[in-house]
Structure 1
């Protein structure tokens, strides 16, 4: 059981680092894919906080850095999503125009 949890942690923690940018790319594929990736992002980030809360050393050493990263993700990832939606709207307007 412990080995399975270690494997899950080794998979999910790196995913939590890159998933905000994967979410932006998913919105290019469509809104359903984007919102599904947003839900996955929320779940993975919540799990990482849970893992860190189980270890006081990890929380002490990594908590501030992870909180800063979360702030950056929450602040800037939506800007990328809005940029994608603007590009799609412009492309649709050009397609409808011609």
Structure 2
């Protein structure tokens, strides 16, 4: 990454961003382990967090603390499926 501060500067200027910082590898590893345990509706429905899964593929991840003014995602980021993979909701 040429200038690691440039992406942070851009994100920090977005409406609704209260704080932004890079996640370190140790934190990302802990988050991946925790995310693997997440279930919905009493633990019987799988919850695939597509946004999280896409983010962890990246070389650098910026965490954002935001307020209600921050824009919503352009598409659903969590998909609920039953035990055989049928989509139950987004």
Normalized against structure 2, the TM-score is what?
0.31
Structure with greater proportional helix content: 1
TM-score, length of structure 1 as denominator length: 0.29
From the CA coordinates, give the structure whose radius of gyration is larger.
Answer: 1
